[in-house]
């Protein structure tokens, strides 16, 4: 890993770019251009991509359109699902093309795929001929990969939308496949993304003016309910923000003539998106949620949801961290300050320090939490080892409190000192909860 990092530093960037570009097309032709045989839906934005992609998959797959999915958390081919083990949203070019070929062989009609700015910069989108582009929103993140420029970050995502016009329309089952843009109308950047060419442009949001508007949002014990048009919907996933993530599925489903009641039924069937507002139940008397939140926007949404989920007088306990490897250092104090203000207990622990020393990363977060009023040893704890950090978070919880384990979601590894180790927050939380329940049982017996 360190040798690879060294060669990256000394090799001219244009050589890396040329290598990635060529490899993308080689992979596409090796697998005989499978994307030509699928309707490809690309989902991009700063946050919400994974859940949005899973809702799109549900709306299509549960209504007779066999659909594949490539997301940060999971990979689906029809009803078959595996976790994404590649530690990246857009897997390498050979892997992506192989997955697309598998979808074609399985008889899929659609593929929903997350698209990242860094993936586009490395040409991983080449050879994947997108028909529909979905924009979920934009906020500063991963700017270090774009020279620190938000404008370059925005332009990188724009290349997904520009690609709609670059390739001819597909004809599948004797029908012309229209090019479509589905965009977040509430975003201040909507005009940029809607400015690209498409046969059809559809908007969604919470505010008036969008084609699909969510209203009457109400939290339920299992998730959240809302209305859109004349139909009421009930999601079995927690979080008001997931209403927003479901709207592109409603928009697309309506566009391809799926009945509103059938879209409603399909979305309600999606009860778990791995590592996204995922409830962990092992018989404990408090709530535990594992979520991928790892930057300002998603952390804010998570903590605001948490405030609605806990009863008055009950505590919010959060474990968080940030990545190393030069990734987005500016977000660390922002997340620390947010957690310090909105949570009752804050535990700062490793996420993926990569080759970096974890201590400065943790301190950037902890010092901001201190400025927000937290005190070390009382309601702020810096615990480098992530398992020990999780154990501490769970030990602080009392009946009906809420524990949030953030930063990794359903990722299947953790990178420390340049070495990749197997890891799954959800499994570790389950193991520690079982240990705690067992210890309590033994203590009561004695």
Q: Please indicate, yes or no, if residue 132 is contained in any of the structural domains.
A: yes
Residue 252: name the closest of 322, 293, 202 by CA: 202
Q: Please indicate, yes or no, if residue 393 is contained in any of the structural domains.
A: yes
DSSP 64: T
Locate the DSSP E strands across 267-358: 278-279, 287-291, 316-320, 345-348
Given 236, 269, 302, which residue is the final one in a domain?
269
- Give CA angle at 153 (150, 154), nearest 5°: 90
Is residue 17 pLDDT above 90, yes or no? Answer: no
Q: Please indicate, yes or no, if residue 1 is contained in any of the structural domains.
A: no
- Domain check: are 313 and 242 in the same one? no
- The pLDDT, as a whole number, for residue 219 is 87
CATH code, domain carrying 181:
3.40.1190.10
- Domain check: are 423 and 335 in the same one? yes
- Domain check: are 96 and 188 in the same one? yes
Q: Please indicate, yes or no, if residue 105 is contained in any of the structural domains.
A: yes
pLDDT (tens digit per residue) in 307-350: 999 999 999 999 999 999 878 788 999 999 999 999 999 999 99
Q: Please indicate, yes or no, if residue 3 is contained in any of the structural domains.
A: no
- The pLDDT, as a whole number, for residue 277 is 96
Q: Please indicate, yes or no, if residue 4 is contained in any of the structural domains.
A: no
Helices and strands in the chain, H and E counts: 14, 21
Indicate the SS3 state at residue 200.
strand
Query: Looking at residues 283-303, what average pLDDT do you find?
Result: 95
- Domain check: are 231 and 291 in the same one? no
String of DSSP letters for 343-378? -SEEEE--S--BTS-HHHHHHHHHHHHHHTT--BTT
Q: Please indicate, yes or no, if residue 300 is contained in any of the structural domains.
A: yes
Q: Please indicate, yes or no, if residue 84 is contained in any of the structural domains.
A: yes
Indicate the SS3 state at residue 255.
helix
- Domain check: are 333 and 213 in the same one? no
- Domain check: are 301 and 326 in the same one? yes
Contacts of 338 (CB under 8 A, 6+ apart): 296, 299, 300, 303
- Domain check: are 341 and 260 in the same one? no
What does the alpha-carbon distance between residue 90 and residue 70 come to, in Å, rounded to a whole number? 8
- Which range marks the domain in which residue 141 is found? 10-269
pLDDT (tens digit per residue) in 136-184: 999 866 566 656 688 998 999 999 999 999 999 999 999 999 999 999 9
What does the alpha-carbon distance between residue 220 and residue 225 come to, in Å, rounded to a whole number? 7
The total domain count for the chain is 2
Long-range contacts of the stretch 191-199 (C-beta < 8 A, 24+): 192/154, 192/158, 193/133, 193/135, 193/157, 193/158, 193/161, 196/133, 196/158, 196/161, 196/162, 196/164, 196/165, 197/164, 197/165, 198/133, 198/161, 198/164, 198/165
Given 269, 294, 319, which residue is the final one in a domain?
269
Per-residue buried b or exposed e for 293-309, using 16+ beta carbons within 10 Å of the residue's own CB: bbbbbbbbbbbebbeee
Contacts of 171 (CB under 8 A, 6+ apart): 177
- Domain check: are 385 and 404 in the same one? yes
- Domain check: are 265 and 282 in the same one? no
Is residue 44 pLDDT above 90, yes or no? Answer: yes
- Domain check: are 345 and 403 in the same one? yes
- The pTM (predicted TM-score) of the whole model is 0.93
Which pLDDT band holds residue 444 (cuts at 50, 70, 90)?
low
Percent of the chain with pLDDT over 70: 93
- Domain check: are 175 and 55 in the same one? yes
Is residue 446 pLDDT above 60, yes or no? Answer: no
pLDDT (tens digit per residue) in 207-256: 899 999 999 999 887 899 999 999 999 999 999 999 999 999 999 999 99
CATH code, domain carrying 291:
3.90.190.20
Given 235, 269, 303, which residue is the final one in a domain?
269
Which pLDDT band holds residue 1 (cuts at 50, 70, 90)?
very low
- The pLDDT, as a whole number, for residue 338 is 97
- Domain check: are 54 and 185 in the same one? yes
Query: Looking at residues 349-366, what average pLDDT do you find?
Result: 96
The length of the chain is 446
């Amino acid at each position: 890993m360190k040798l690879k990092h060294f060669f990256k530093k000394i090799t001219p960037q244009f050589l890396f770019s040329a290598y990635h570009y060529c490899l993308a097309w080689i992979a596409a032709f090796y697998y005989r251009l499978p994307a030509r045989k699928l309707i490809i839906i690309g989902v991009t934005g700063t946050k919400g991509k994974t859940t949005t992609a899973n809702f799109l998959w549900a709306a299509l797959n549960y209504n007779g359109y066999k659909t594949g999915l490539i997301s940060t958390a999971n990979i689906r081919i029809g009803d078959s699902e595996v976790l994404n083990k590649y530690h990246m949203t857009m897997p390498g070019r050979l892997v992506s093309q192989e997955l697309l070929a598998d979808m074609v062989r399985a008889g899929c009609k659609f593929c929903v795929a997350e698209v990242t700015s860094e993936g586009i910069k490395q040409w991983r989108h080449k050879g994947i001929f997108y028909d529909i582009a979905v924009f979920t929103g934009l906020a500063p993140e991963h700017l270090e990969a774009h020279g620190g420029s938000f404008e370059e970050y925005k332009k990188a995502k724009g290349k997904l939308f520009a690609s709609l016009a670059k390739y001819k329309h597909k004809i599948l089952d004797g029908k012309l496949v229209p090019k479509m843009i589905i965009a977040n109308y509430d975003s201040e950047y909507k005009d940029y993304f809607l400015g690209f060419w498409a046969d059809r442009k559809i908007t969604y949001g919470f505010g008036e003016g969008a084609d699909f508007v969510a209203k009457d949002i109400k939290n339920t014990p299992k998730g959240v309910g809302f209305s859109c048009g004349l139909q009421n919907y009930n999601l079995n996933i927690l979080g008001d923000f997931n209403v927003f993530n479901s709207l592109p599925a409603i928009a697309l489903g309506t566009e391809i003539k799926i009945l509103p009641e059938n879209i409603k039924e399909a979305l309600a069937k999606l009860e778990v998106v791995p590592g996204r507002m995922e409830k962990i139940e092992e018989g404990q008397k408090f709530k535990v949620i594992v979520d991928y939140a790892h930057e300002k926007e998603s952390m804010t949404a998570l903590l605001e949801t948490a405030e609605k989920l806990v009863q008055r007088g009950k505590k919010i306990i959060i474990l968080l961290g940030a990545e190393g490897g030069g990734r987005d250092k500016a977000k660390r104090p922002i997340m620390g300050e947010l957690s310090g203000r909105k949570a009752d207990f804050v535990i700062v622990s490793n996420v993926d320090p990569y080759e970096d020393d974890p201590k400065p990363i943790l301190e950037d977060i902890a010092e901001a939490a201190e400025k927000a009023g937290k005190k070390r040893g009382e309601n702020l704890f810096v615990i480098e080892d992530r398992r020990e950090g999780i154990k501490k978070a769970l030990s602080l919880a009392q009946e009906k409190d809420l524990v949030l384990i953030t930063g990794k979601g359903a990722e299947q590894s953790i990178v420390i000192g340049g070495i990749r180790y197997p890891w799954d927050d959800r499994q570790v939380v389950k193991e520690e909860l079982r240990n705690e329940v067992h210890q309590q049982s033994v203590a009561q017996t004695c």
